[in-house]
Structure 1
């Protein structure tokens, strides 16, 4: 064997052994704790963040805590048996840069208490998760939380599913959801795959401006003119909505299997505003997959397609529409998607009001 080829083979062997060792020690193949970590579940942790660069607040240093089960919430901390309402969603549910006492879940809980109801609300939001990730939470995370038996599960979803077009449909393949195989196992347990997934997520967050940053909305031009690529609209109808509805159905099945009421909340963003029944979207044109154009008005239209899909597979009265609420102002958001303390307080109160209107939820 030539010396050069031998060196190459030795190096490849060392690399493969290194990858194998990483999977053994850091993957979720033999350790369920690692599996949860790879899926982005933070447990038994307390952080302090300076949020003065994001929004104005009297207390710029906020506390972000997760209990040993990975849940966020003050009154039911480390006590899952107390939880009556479990909230599931992505970063807008997680609220990484809001204090433990300022999240919309805490506001919702306080609204119940003000009205004489002892209600415990817990936050199972995971930064970056779409409904695909929420399904993984129902399969891998929630069953590991002993005595978790909420009466209601609030799914605050839509934004993170917006970008799942074309190539992303492979990741959200309906067949894989219904009959998970080896590929699904690798996604759930492989540390290498999950590092790749997180890096890809960070890249997408930067590209679509869904990461945490401060936006000066006074400098953002808004328009009533719609920009929306017809092909993107077709892809939504042919791929996105079909897969999205399949995932929503699975979430409903999970909630019902643990005797909880599944309620879906559509998400507001500040990439558009609704004034006097008219949509004013950000004028800037963005692109999905570098070729499908849309602006803020087009974004609102596609987001509502996801919302209508939720209503089709759920009971309409169990879908709370906040996407089309005209109450949102620039002060409620520090970027296009994430809320300030002011916005979270408004959101918590709105959710309480909407829940109190559902007769069999009272």
Structure 2
């Protein structure tokens, strides 16, 4: 009996090894290394504590780590890159701003390649370590929704490196990125298990008005010039990476929930005292946004200053920077008429 069990175990082990070699990527296929790219995942997040609407948000990413529907990697109209405000982990499939943008553009194929926590430092590495390894990926446009994480770049390095600083975690990711069996188990677990949203999303109360006008600071006296210069250089480099893959670059700036911008571009803040209005976040973010637009114009991209042009409303954010489905509808409605002439209806 022991001999029979041993033979059966050996046959099973040999079968698993053969299956891993055939269906995994140990020998053939792209080498994903230790990258922290969610792939072949279907997760259900309980978002009842973040914003109104359905309790569960279904979050899926495919074998290549992309989010959204497409039939052909070579026929993607718009590929979006960015951090968590692009990824939108706690917004369900069908309710991201990419989903709404595709609808508003008459069914154009808009695919999401956002990575939670990344700044432009990570986006540059993503082209070298991830996107370049997706066979046949040829989007017509790459839309970079950027600026929020770069304004808070310190402490983001582990996400920009696209690998965990922990050796154990890197080994785990290496196995996960190459093993077919682990991918199957992870997919099943993700389908069956519900997760609570992380505290970095929704960890603070959403700022509310009253929003009042005042005397905002001069932007040329706002922020660290060295950090702003470095950001402008990274945006230019990012556009070079986009052109190198045969796509046209679209640079889109961002806003935050702790201030408002009117339809004429006038900032509104909250009263810090009877005699002053708090414009600190507006000044910091707008300084970075202006540098992105300067790099974009200089490099000949499609430059959309959403941060200064879109008026958000209460209920559009569920924390400082992450938008709700209604906020996503507003983003798409602002982008669509500006992109339609170049993307085509």
Which one of the candidate residues 240, 258, 263 is aligned to 1:271?
258
Deviations 1:154-209 (A, max 9, x none): 00000001123xxx4997xxxxxxxxxxxx9xx5667438979xxxxxxxxx9xx9
- Report how far residue 351 of structure 1 moved: 1.1
Q: Which residue does the alignment assign to 2:25?
A: none
Which one of the candidate residues 315, 340, 345 is aligned to 1:356?
340
What is the rounded CA distance, in whole Å, between the counterparts of 2:169 and 2:315 in structure 1?
A: 35
Please, which runs of 5 or more residues in structure 2 have no aligned partner?
Answer: 1-29, 171-197
TM-score (normalised: structure 2)? 0.72
Q: Give secondary structure in 2 for the equivalent of 1:33.
A: coil
Which one of the candidate residues 241, 245, 269 is aligned to 2:228?
241
1:52 aligns with 2:48: yes
What is the rounded CA distance, in whole Å, between the counterparts of 1:296 and 1:143 in structure 2?
A: 43
Which one of the candidate residues 58, 77, 84 is aligned to 1:84?
77
Q: Which residue does the alignment assign to 1:253?
A: 240
What is the rounded CA distance, in whole Å, between the counterparts of 1:215 and 1:142 in structure 2?
A: 36
Structure number with greater CO (CA < 8 Å, separation at least 6) is: 2
1:192 aligns with 2:175: no
1:61 aligns with 2:45: no
Q: Which residue does the alignment assign to 2:326?
A: 342
Q: Give secondary structure in 1 for the equivalent of 2:250.
A: strand
Contact 2:40 2:65 in 1 (8 A): yes
Going from structure 1 to structure 2, the CA distance change for 1:233 and 1:108 (only over 3 Å counts) comes to same
- Report how far residue 226 of structure 1 moved: 6.3
Going from structure 1 to structure 2, the CA distance change for 1:325 and 1:51 (only over 3 Å counts) comes to same
Deviations 1:268-298 (A, max 9, x none): 221101247432224569xxxxxxxxx8512
What is the rounded CA distance, in whole Å, between the counterparts of 2:213 and 2:96 in structure 1?
A: 32
Q: Which residue does the alignment assign to 1:123?
A: 112
Q: Which residue does the alignment assign to 2:97?
A: 104
Which one of the candidate residues 297, 307, 327 is aligned to 2:289?
307
Going from structure 1 to structure 2, the CA distance change for 1:194 and 1:253 (only over 3 Å counts) comes to farther
Going from structure 1 to structure 2, the CA distance change for 1:261 and 1:216 (only over 3 Å counts) comes to closer
**Root-mean-square deviation over aligned CA pairs:** 3.5
- Report how far residue 99 of structure 1 moved: 0.9
Contact 2:70 2:76 in 1 (8 A): no
Q: Give secondary structure in 1 for the equivalent of 2:308.
A: coil
Deviations 1:35-91 (A, max 9, x none): 222xxx10110001111101111x221210000100000344xx4233221000001
TM-score (normalised: structure 1)? 0.68
Of Structure 1 and Structure 2, the greater helix share is in 1
What is the rounded CA distance, in whole Å, between the counterparts of 1:351 and 1:102 in structure 2?
A: 16
1:35 aligns with 2:34: yes
1:160 aligns with 2:149: yes
Q: Give secondary structure in 2 for the equivalent of 1:62.
A: strand
Please, which runs of 5 or more residues in structure 1 have no aligned partner?
Answer: 1-30, 172-183, 197-205, 286-294
Going from structure 1 to structure 2, the CA distance change for 1:361 and 1:211 (only over 3 Å counts) comes to same
Contact 1:53 1:214 in 2 (8 A): no
